[in-house]
Structure 1
Amino acid sequence: MTMLLPEPGAPLAHYVSDKPFDPMSIEAMTQKQSDIYEASQLRLMWWKFKKHRIALASLFFLAVAYAMIAVVEFLAPYNLQTRNVENIYAPPQAVHLFHEGSLVGPFVYGRTMTLDMATLRRVYTEDRNRIEPLRFFCRGDSYRFWGLFEADRHLVCPAEGGTFFLFGTDRLGRDVLSRMFYGARISLTIGLLGVTMAFVLGIVIGGLAGYHGGLFDLIVQRVIEVLQSIPSIPLWMALAAIMPVTWSPIVIYLGITCILGLLDWTGLARAVRSKLLALREEDYVLAAQLMGAKPARIIGRHLVPGFLSHLIASATMSIPAMILGETALSFLGLGLRPPITSWGILLTEARSVSVIAFYPWLLIPTIPVVLVILAFNFLGDGLRDAADPYK
């Protein structure tokens, strides 16, 4: 029974009703309020996430990047191992649309190469009289699509007898842009596989330690402290160095993934443990225990969803950390090895200061690394805010 404030002099009984008044009843809601009231948790998170413009743009960028790795053979102008010995350390070629005021379409100018006898460097000069139009959806270098079947279709190809090196070439005359496309497949997927392993270990070990406590919790905490006290890069180097050189590239790829996953679970496990220590004393946990729920169900269905926002943020932060870890190991020569190509392996071409000074385009593979890591950080901020019920 609810009571409304009476007007002066009016009988009190006129303002007393036996029917409770619910100001948020469905009938009293606007259409927008009704949609919010009936929306699921995932839809509410999506509505909040859409307001984070930078995170939304980062999600679109990452979606495009991961979609591209499925068709890198088609997107790359050249095959991974295609060498052009006449264009070793060739600088990037600019794409033009107009020639002497006339619309020609996408094309590049031809180049001539001379050898500087003083420095023994190749000098490339643009020839404005040679117009080499670009071809699209064309036949070019043959490749095995995902190693399954032979194909030779490319999104863009150079003119017959011409060249198209948008990001230049390396010391063997291989196209840097094409190798960046192939390297994206390894660098982007190694983070997903590694973070999956780290999440499984972190949630399981940290969840059991926080829920049960006792001796198991004590042992887990000591192991985490020992692992976190070891410098990361020397530990990575030591674990990567013990892998035999006779292993196949795929086995080395899986080995690097396991190393990154096994070393990244400690931070998540400690965070999960601290959250579960606080949440396991809640009444709904006691009710689930009295109803006979097993610890695995209580942890997975009742406790872990309580700090989902923290897990989402941790995942989006762990993926770029693993990408950087693989890049650092490969750059030091202790990670992936040819013929596998990753962004870290591409950067090994620029380990010398003299090479960077003479051929700065070899540092271009750092650009996708920076963009992907920034995108994951912005995406993590947006997902964390969207999953946080207090925002």
Structure 2
Amino acid sequence: MTTSPPPASEPATLPHRWSTAPFEPYAVEKMSPEQERVYLASQLQLMWWKFRRHKLAVISGVVILVMYTSIVICEFLAPYHYTTRDTDFIRAPPQRVHLFHEGTFLGPFVYPYTQRLNMENLKREYDVDTTRPQQIRFFCRGDGYYFWGLVPGNLHLFCPPEGGTLFLLGTDRLGRDMFSRILYGGRISLTIGLLGVMVSFVLGVIIGGIAGYYGGKVDLFVQRLIEIVQSLPHIPLWLALSAIMPASWSPLLVYFGITLILGLMDWTGLARAVRSKLLSLREEDYVVAAQLMGAKPARIIGLHLVPGFMSHLIAAATITVPKTILGETALSFLGLGLRPPITSWGVLLNEAQNINVVALYPWLLFPCVPVILIILAFNFLGDGLRDAADPYR
């Protein structure tokens, strides 16, 4: 049975899902400038935007930057050379910086000390002479030095007054300025932290990467090696390795020896983390594709696997730096690390072992302050960098 078409006067009716209207492409919603800025941003820009929201990490980064900048130009910043002695002011207390004298603005100045010997306890006592303000000099000529041991110079950011003294953090048992010695000591302690973490970072990534990528017997051998190293007590081992270094070694060789010892003891934790991460990532499709294309294991580990968990590596590195600084400080504090004439924060704290000395001269503990600050700053910075580099956050 055939059906006739509808009359020409009556339009044909189509099902609801059909339309006689001409084809119209899907409407594309235009992105706002803020959305376009995010979608077109690079990975580094995204990391920087996320990092800026972590205020504590930003402040910590500024503190670390200031500290490392100060050790680069510590000769210029320190008012004295770290070996300069003033035997008239042995264990002198810190001098306060003032701006006003009897209601009159004079700029930065200090009041001089007058020394007297207490015959009852044979202790040197210092009285402040508030009648003679002595102005601090800026961009002046002072103690001579060799900038980084190479370029001679004597220009300082600020110097003691003419014929006066400027002991911002007091002096030690030999009359040396503590503030200047802390600045010089920071160069040794902070660079040991960086060099130590470089050694442990390289060993941890290489050994852990090999174990995680190959697995099997290689992984078994590396795991047993890590367990053996971790089972050794670190502090006695540090003491033993430091004690066997010849006393005839130059301070520079001792410095590099301590750095190598600290780096060789801290790679195991990072190696375990790298190994466990690579065991899960080596089965991914992009790794199999790289293997089929003939990529070598070193290229696959370095270019494809390691960047996948860079956030963890950044956090581990920022935690290892303060651990290395603490290790050097502990060894030098016990007298088995760096030795004079090298100056570090641990060497400075070595003078604060006697509780009686600390009770009488508490400013000898000032080297603890930068140690605490740098450790807290690195930990907060590591938290911020980990969150910023994590692609899942």
TM-score (norm 2): 0.94
Q: Distance in 1 between the 2:381 and 2:197 partners?
A: 16
For 2:331, the equivalent position in structure 1 comes to 329
For 1:3, the equivalent position in structure 2 comes to none
What are the equivalent positions in structure 2 for 1:307-346 lying under 5 Å apart?
Answer: 307-346=309-348
Identity across matched positions, percent: 65
For 2:49, the equivalent position in structure 1 comes to 47
For 2:17, the equivalent position in structure 1 comes to 12
Matched, 1:251 2:256: no
For 1:369, the equivalent position in structure 2 comes to 371
What are the equivalent positions in structure 2 for 1:82-93 lying under 5 Å apart?
Answer: 82-93=84-95
Deviation at 1:14, TM superposition (A): 4.5
Count residues with an aligned counterpart: 380
For 1:6, the equivalent position in structure 2 comes to none
Q: Distance in 1 between the 2:145 and 2:218 partners?
A: 53
Superposed CA offset, 1:289-312 (max 9, x none):
111111001101111111111000
For 1:4, the equivalent position in structure 2 comes to none
Amino acid at match of 1:229: S
For 1:33, the equivalent position in structure 2 comes to 35
Q: Distance in 2 between the 1:20 and 1:201 partners?
A: 57
Residues 241 and 11 of structure 1, relative CA distance in 2, 3 Å threshold: same
Amino acid at match of 2:326: L
Amino acid at match of 1:269: A
What are the equivalent positions in structure 2 for 1:71-90 lying under 5 Å apart?
Answer: 71-90=73-92
Deviation at 1:388, TM superposition (A): 0.8
RMSD over aligned CA atoms reads: 1.7
Amino acid at match of 1:98: F
Q: Distance in 1 between the 2:101 and 2:337 partners?
A: 46
Q: Distance in 1 between the 2:316 and 2:248 partners?
A: 35
Tell me the SS of whatever aligns to 2:131: strand
For 1:183, the equivalent position in structure 2 comes to 185
Deviation at 1:149, TM superposition (A): 2.4
Residues 34 and 129 of structure 1, relative CA distance in 2, 3 Å threshold: same
Q: Distance in 2 between the 1:141 and 1:232 partners?
A: 41
Amino acid at match of 1:58: S
Larger radius of gyration: 2
Residues 12 and 73 of structure 1, relative CA distance in 2, 3 Å threshold: same
Moved more, 296-305 or 12-21: 12-21
Q: Distance in 2 between the 1:42 and 1:36 partners?
A: 12
Residues 203 and 174 of structure 1, relative CA distance in 2, 3 Å threshold: same
Q: Distance in 1 between the 2:142 and 2:329 partners?
A: 30
For 2:144, the equivalent position in structure 1 comes to 142
Moved more, 231-240 or 290-299: 231-240
Deviation at 1:15, TM superposition (A): 11
Structure 1, gaps ≥5 residues long = 1-8
For 1:286, the equivalent position in structure 2 comes to 288
Matched, 1:272 2:259: no
Q: Distance in 1 between the 2:106 and 2:153 partners?
A: 30
Superposed CA offset, 1:132-162 (max 9, x none):
1100001111111111122111111111110
TM-score (norm 1): 0.94
Q: 2:126 aligns with which of 124, 127, 132?
A: 124
For 1:295, the equivalent position in structure 2 comes to 297
Tell me the SS of whatever aligns to 1:297: helix
Residues 116 and 208 of structure 1, relative CA distance in 2, 3 Å threshold: same
Matched, 1:226 2:228: yes
Amino acid at match of 1:315: A
Q: Distance in 1 between the 2:283 and 2:219 partners?
A: 17
Amino acid at match of 1:157: C
Q: 2:204 aligns with which of 202, 205, 214?
A: 202
Q: 2:171 aligns with which of 169, 175, 180?
A: 169
Superposed CA offset, 1:68-112 (max 9, x none):
111100100101100000000000000001111111111110111
Superposed CA offset, 1:249-282 (max 9, x none):
1111111110011111100000000000111111
Residues 34 and 99 of structure 1, relative CA distance in 2, 3 Å threshold: same
For 1:5, the equivalent position in structure 2 comes to none
Amino acid at match of 1:284: Y
Moved more, 146-155 or 306-315: 146-155
Residues 15 and 288 of structure 1, relative CA distance in 2, 3 Å threshold: farther
